[in-house]
Amino acid sequence: MDLYHHIFLILDRPMAIIRNLQDNASLVDANDAFSKLMGCSIEELSGRSASSVVEHYSAKAAARSYQRETFLCTDSRRMPIRVDHTPLPYISGETGALSLLLIEDLSAQRWIEEQFEHYKVLISGIVDSTNHIRILRDFYAPLLLKPEQSLEDETYLQFISEQEFERIQEALDSAGKLKKVNDIKVRTSKLGGVELELSITFTPIYDGFGSVREYAFVIWDLKPVSEGVDSSMRLKIWMAKRDMSAIQLSAATHISLQTISKLRNGKIEKPQRLTAELIASELKVDVSEIWPEVRRGR
């Protein structure tokens, strides 16, 4: 086995090599990651029709590079995927033209998209089987992280309270065994001095052999655990719950973006009563939920 073929076999990204001969296309080789995704051995995959594995694969398009979304057809299901197709250089003595397929499983992302139809999702992401965060989307609730901080490829346990470790692992294991969506409420560690309770829905994502490959999750609600939370954090939380950015809130209330930013950053601790009422009204919440010291109409 030459070095390049060895690298091909051990890379984590699912890959397959296709032989295109006139109107026919068949699998020549695949790596271990592709084998696990399909749920069968490389030997069993060899010689299969490419269109029976990658839906709508066409040998006529094999001469060009392209990227598209389609389905991977395993023995048990149709799996949404993104395909990167690249023609390979001609090899002397090789029959037909060869192509390289790079596969990305979109199952977790599609599940997250479905949750957006049912919940006001604040945070979403994907955690692999070793508890590392592979993707984190935090568009509406930049509460868990500092602006310069990233948790991608870090373990999610970094921002979960230690007292919750065993309980959340049991919930993950149970969902994996029962093959079902699960819900859990967990407390974070103190982030910026604040402990939050997160309402999380998650689902296991399996490979072709039925082993859990990763978990997709959405956080659809969060609230401070204690009452002693400063107003800037309360404002961030309610803006997150209403899917409202600082720019949107400024436009809706006609309060300057600079003032909104200062309130969010804690540089203004107690706004004028009218300012507080305009913001609370737009967020559909009582003023005291954000600024307890500001009373409506006083």
Instruction: Note the pLDDT tens digit of each residue in 33-59.
Output: 999 999 999 999 999 999 999 999 999
Query: Which CATH entry fits the domain spanning 3-105: 3.65.10.10, 3.30.450.20, 3.40.50.1370, 3.30.750.24?
Result: 3.30.450.20
Q: Which of 23-27, 62-66, 141-145, 235-239 has the lowest mean pLDDT?
A: 141-145
Residue range 241-267: average pLDDT? Answer: 90
Higher pLDDT, 126 or 123: 126
C-alpha 194/C-alpha 190 separation (Å) is 5
Q: Where are the domains of the chain?
A: 3-105, 108-224, 231-290
Look at 293 and 296; give whichever has higher pLDDT.
293
What's the mean per-residue pLDDT of the chain? 87
Asked if 20 and 9 touch (Cβ cutoff 8 Å), the reply is no
pLDDT band at 182 (very low <50, low <70, confident <90, very high): very high
- pLDDT computed for residue 149 by the predictor: 53
Same fold, 3-105 and 108-224: yes
Share of the chain above pLDDT 70, in %: 91
Q: Contact at 8 Å (CB) between 38 and 74?
A: yes
Average pLDDT on 280-293 reads 89
Query: String of b and e for 129-158 (b: at least 16 CB within 10 Å)?
Result: eebbbebbebebbbbbbeeeeebeeeebee
Mind listing the pLDDT tens digit for each residue in 21-38? 888 999 999 999 999 999
DSSP E strands in the chain: the ranges are 15-21, 24-30, 66-73, 78-87, 97-105, 123-128, 133-137, 182-187, 196-206, 212-224
- The arithmetic mean of pLDDT across residues 273-298, rounded, is 84
Q: Provide the pLDDT for residue 111.
A: 96
**231-290: which CATH topology?**
434 Repressor (Amino-terminal Domain) (1.10.260)
DSSP letter (8 states) at residue 194: B
Could you identify the residue written with the tokens 């500092």?
146
pLDDT average, residue stretch 92-121: 89
pLDDT at 26: 95
**For residue range 184-202, what is the model confidence (pLDDT) as tens digits?**
999 988 766 678 889 999 9
pLDDT at res. 181? 94
pTM of structure: 0.81
Which CATH code fits 108-224?
3.30.450.20
Give residue 298's pLDDT band: very low, low, confident or very high (50, 70, 90).
Answer: very low
Q: Give the model's pLDDT for residue 96.
A: 84
**Could you tell me which of 130, 286, 285 has the C-alpha nearest to residue 215?**
130
Detail the DSSP E strand segments found in 88-158.
97-105, 123-128, 133-137
Break the chain down into helix, strand, coil percent, rounded to 5.
35, 30, 35
Tell which residue, 144, 131, 135, 95, has the closest CA to residue 111.
135
Query: Residue 191: what pLDDT?
Result: 62
Does residue 297 register a pLDDT over 50?
Answer: no
pLDDT tens for 201-220 read 999 999 999 999 999 999 98
Residue 189's pLDDT is 82
Can you tell me which residue has the tokens 């006001």? Answer: 120
CA distances in angstroms from 150 to 5, 191, 251, listed in the order given: 34, 14, 29
Is 1's pLDDT higher than 70?
no
Is the per-residue pLDDT at 143 higher than 60? no
What does the pLDDT read at residue 175? 93
Predicted local confidence at residue 80, as pLDDT: 97
